[in-house]
Structure 1
Amino acid sequence: MNTYIEKLTNLLLEKNEMLSYIQAKTWVELLWGDFEATYAKAGHTYKGEEMTERIVKEWIDHYGSQLHMFQSAREDVNDYLNQSRGLLH
């Protein structure tokens, strides 16, 4: 899985120059986990990391350039993702 995470992190960094490496990696890990959890809750059989990679890649392609603007309902997530030392602008 680490290979997938690294590849997707680099893709996100290409799409969004406002994120630091650690923020991009965190986003990829959050998106990865969210997809797997949602897929399982829906009662689907897990089809492997390749499918999860494809879905997360699609999300990055569509929304990656805007992820730095995301505001979570969870303050701890906001604090972590929006640390001023991590922003590149």
Structure 2
Amino acid sequence: MKELIEELIAELRDKNEELSEAKARVWIELLVSDFEASYAKAGYDYQGTAVVEKVVRQWIESYGDKIHEFAGRNPKYAHLLNEQE
């Protein structure tokens, strides 16, 4: 999973030059964690990292270039993403 996280961080940074590596890491970790938690709460069995990877890659492709704008509008994440490097 560690290698996958590193790949996803690199993809997000390629898509969004506004993000430092540290902030891209926070975003990826949040996306993975939230997806896994939501999937579990919905009652689905864990399908492995392939499903997580597919969904997070889709989010990066769809929203990656503007994801940094989201933090200011969502207090759940703002404190994690607005801190100094």
TM-score, length-scaled by structure 1: 0.86
Q: Does 1:73 align with 2:75?
A: yes
Alpha-carbon distance between aligned partners in 1 of 2:19 and 2:12, rounded to the nearest angstrom: 9
Q: Which structure 1 segments of 5+ residues have no match?
A: none
Alpha-carbon distance between aligned partners in 2 of 1:82 and 1:73, rounded to the nearest angstrom: 10
How far did residue 82 of structure 1 move? Answer: 2.3
Alpha-carbon distance between aligned partners in 1 of 2:38 and 2:11, rounded to the nearest angstrom: 23
**Larger helix share, 1 or 2:** 2
Secondary structure of 2:75's counterpart equals coil
The two structures, once aligned, show a CA RMSD in angstroms of 1.2
User: Number of aligned pairs?
Assistant: 83
How far did residue 78 of structure 1 move? Answer: 1.5
String of CA shifts for 1:8-38, please: whole Å, max 9, x gaps.
Answer: 0000000000000000011000000010000
- Aligned residue number for residue 56 of structure 2: 56
Confirm or deny: 8 A CA contact 2:9 2:25 kept in the other structure. Answer: yes
Q: Percent identity?
A: 43
- Aligned residue number for residue 18 of structure 1: 18
Alpha-carbon distance between aligned partners in 2 of 1:52 and 1:80, rounded to the nearest angstrom: 22
Alpha-carbon distance between aligned partners in 2 of 1:73 and 1:79, rounded to the nearest angstrom: 7
Q: Does 1:82 align with 2:46?
A: no
TM-score, length-scaled by structure 2: 0.90
Secondary structure of 2:44's counterpart equals coil
Runs of at least 4 residues off by over 4 Å: none
